[in-house]
Every structure is written in C-alpha cells, then in structure tokens.
Structure 1
C-alpha cells in the first residue's frame, strides 16, 4: 500500500471577540461545546488531520484574539497562511461590518504559503445560527461575498449544534490541496534510451550464428 503524502495547511480564524471562533475550533477538533465564554488571549492553535485523495492534510488551525489590543500580536502569525476564515455573529451586525477591516488587515500584513490566483484564501462564516434575533440575513452576507474581486465562499454555522462545522474545514482542506498540487512544477518524463551493446547477435537477430562447422 502506497504511503500517503502529508501536507501542512495553515488556517487562520479572524473576527471580532465573541463571534465563536474558539467554539468552532473546539467543536471541530474536540467535538465539544461550552456556553461559558472565555476570551482567547493572544493566539492559540491546534491541529487535526483530514484525508483528501491520496494525501493526509494536517490542518494547523490558528485561533486569534478578536480584541483590538491583540491585533498587532496576531499580524505576525498571518504569514505563510493557506486559508483565512473570516467569522462573524449573525445576531450582531457590528461583527459583520468588521469583516472588511479584518480582510484588509490580512491583505496588508499576511502572506500566502501558496501563491495561486485560481484559489481565494478567504472563507466567510456566519456563526451562531442557532440563536434567534438574527441581524444579518444570508442574502446580505452572500451579497458582500460576491462584491469582492474573488467571490468568497460563504457558510452558515452553529458551533453549538455542530451545524456545517466539519463541512467548512473539509472544504478548506480540499481547496488547499488543489492549490498546492496546481502550484507544483510538472515532472518532466524521462526519455527511454535503448542500451548500447556490443553483442552483434542482439541487433542482427537470431539469424546471426557462427558458420563454423568445426
């Protein structure tokens, strides 16, 4: 059985404090959810492996603090990113409006691990769909995603109900693999060279035999 190739995928989660970034990561990686809110201090990361085709994709998921005072700290972790996930709370229009700032911040300070214009590094998540009193409808979010030069993939999730959480990260893994494979140089096929031989019989055929009757 052939050994699967391992690829590292760096994923950054950006968004205001309280939108549920840490809850999304906990639900996806550890299959758990808690209603107790605990703000992320600085930056934290965890990993999970996903099999895509013949490859094992190790998702290195970076959960960044959403507080303004930690923004400068997070910038240094933007570099070498494969996917940037912009998260907002569907019950808070303010967090949705902040997406533009987070996106611009990444474009200014971040750098991609794989430079490939065919694949956008951005994914947009409208989280907390399990809550009532929604302030941002799906149509508004999708319109914002379509307004960008590269249309941004949009998902609606609930970390509490585990709704579409795995789907998001599996999509990220597949897109990252496509970008990596596309960016890889094509292998030049080796020319088949016929070996040189001094054996006359090998190139004159079986008819070449000794005529000696001794």
Structure 2
C-alpha cells in the first residue's frame, strides 16, 4: 500500500544517569566520544539523516537526563515518539533493574495507541570497561528480560569504541519507521507543553 511521505522519526532514549545515553547518541550522529562526563540537563536532541529504500528520513533522537528530578518532563516530551530506546550499563546492576521503571514510565507518559506492540530497543552499554571483567549483567539475563517483554531487540555496545552503535541505531530507525507509518506527525522545535497537547492525534484514522 502506498504510505504517506513521512520524513521525521522521533526516538527517545531513556535510562539511568551515567549509562551513556548522550555518548551513544554522539557516537552515532557525530562519530565522537568524550571522556568528559557532563550530565544532560532536562532534554536535548540530535538529528541524523537516514535512508531506507530510496526514501530519506530525519531521525530525531531525544536524550534525557536520567536523574529522577527530571523525569517529570511530561507528556509533551514523550508524545509522538516512534521508538523508545532503553539503555543500561552492563557494569551496574541497578541500571538494569531500573529498565522496567523506565519502560513503564514511557508507556504511561506517551500512552501509545497500541502499547503492547510499541517498539522498544534495549542497549547494554559500556562492554569495553575493564576488558569486560567488571560486568555484572550477563547477556543471557538481559536477553531473557527482553524476551519476557515481547522479544525486544537487544544490543551490547561500547559508545567509547563505537562497537555495535551503528547496528543498534539501524534497527531503531527501522522499528521507528514501522511504528510511525500510519500516524500523523507533529513535532515542535522546542518542547512546548502548552500547545503540543492538542495538535497530534493519538490514533489517526489514516
């Protein structure tokens, strides 16, 4: 069937503070990594052009602060997301244990029309640390969690070395594309809680 010319795909990255959300985004978009840790305040986004089957799309990747005090970014931030990326640090068990909280938070705030089938992707980051000797979350454990949530795609990455980052975002983009094809899009240049609430229908009779 002919699909509408959708050009903008919105991806949201969630996870605890310090797991490498910003580093993953920068590695994918700019091919850069910084050892200087700077906490993201509120939310920020980067864009990257991606091509599928002779169509050009802009991937708009939103990065959030992991600190709890910024979790109340609200509906305007989550609204219109086409894919949600859950990131944890393979060396920090708590960041893995919190994946469920982040997933629930997203489903509550974004309230997608089909929550059962909304596309998530899970990334276990920092596999390079200490040559892998300090990891505490096994790949088997992470894959079992993803399977229990409806077979969420899973990747292990090193934002520092660029390992698997490109591959992960290719799947993220493809899943975002599949999820968003029948929905109208409204995305403000900035987060505007006042106006964004009314302008994008949650379920479009397309």
Q: For the superposition of Structure 1 and Structure 2, which TM-score range results when normalised by the shorter chain?
A: 0.7 to 0.9
Take 1:93 and 1:73, find their aligned partners in 2: how far apart are those partners? Answer: 25
User: Which residue is equivalent to 1:81?
Assistant: 81
User: Which residue is equivalent to 1:93?
Assistant: 93
Query: Under a length normalisation based on structure 2, what TM-score does the superposition of the two structures give?
Result: 0.80
User: Which residue is equivalent to 2:124?
Assistant: 126
The alignment partner of 2:60 has SS state of strand
User: Which residue is equivalent to 1:207?
Assistant: none
Counterpart contact for 1:130–1:161, Cα < 8 Å: yes
Equivalent positions of 1:157-172 (< 5 A) are: 157-172=157-172
In the TM superposition, residue 183 of structure 1 has moved relative to its aligned partner by 7.1
The C-alpha deviation readout for 1:61-93, integer Å capped at 9, x for no partner, is 000000011100255311110000000000000
Name whichever structure is richer in helix by fraction.
Answer: 2
The alignment partner of 1:39 has SS state of coil
The alignment partner of 1:62 has SS state of strand
User: Following TM superposition, where does structure 1 have runs of at least 4 consecutive aligned residues deviating by more than 2 angstroms?
Assistant: 115-120, 175-185
**How many residues of Structure 1 are paired with residues of Structure 2 in the alignment?**
179
User: Which residue is equivalent to 2:10?
Assistant: 10
The alignment partner of 2:179 has SS state of helix
Counterpart contact for 2:79–2:110, Cα < 8 Å: yes
Counterpart contact for 1:52–1:173, Cα < 8 Å: no
Query: Under a length normalisation based on structure 1, what TM-score does the superposition of the two structures give?
Result: 0.77
Counterpart contact for 1:81–1:111, Cα < 8 Å: no
User: Which residue is equivalent to 1:37?
Assistant: 37
Counterpart contact for 1:50–1:58, Cα < 8 Å: yes
Take 2:67 and 2:24, find their aligned partners in 1: how far apart are those partners? Answer: 18
The C-alpha deviation readout for 1:163-198, integer Å capped at 9, x for no partner, is 01111111122222233447799xxxxxxxxxxxxx
The C-alpha deviation readout for 1:14-54, integer Å capped at 9, x for no partner, is 00000000000111111110111000000000100000112
Take 1:78 and 1:183, find their aligned partners in 2: how far apart are those partners? Answer: 15
Relative to structure 1, is the Cα distance of residues 164 and 93 closer, same or farther in structure 2, using a 3 angstrom cutoff? same
Take 1:17 and 1:179, find their aligned partners in 2: how far apart are those partners? Answer: 27
The alignment partner of 1:168 has SS state of helix
In the TM superposition, residue 155 of structure 1 has moved relative to its aligned partner by 0.5
Relative to structure 1, is the Cα distance of residues 140 and 59 closer, same or farther in structure 2, using a 3 angstrom cutoff? same
In the TM superposition, residue 102 of structure 1 has moved relative to its aligned partner by 0.3
Aligned-CA RMSD value: 2.2
User: Which residue is equivalent to 1:147?
Assistant: 148
Take 1:78 and 1:180, find their aligned partners in 2: how far apart are those partners? Answer: 14
Segments of structure 2 that go 5 or more residues without pairing to the other structure are 185-203
Task: Determine if the alignment matches structure 1 residue 52 to structure 2 residue 52.
Answer: yes
- State the structure with bigger RCO (CA 8 A, min sep 6), 1 or 2: 2
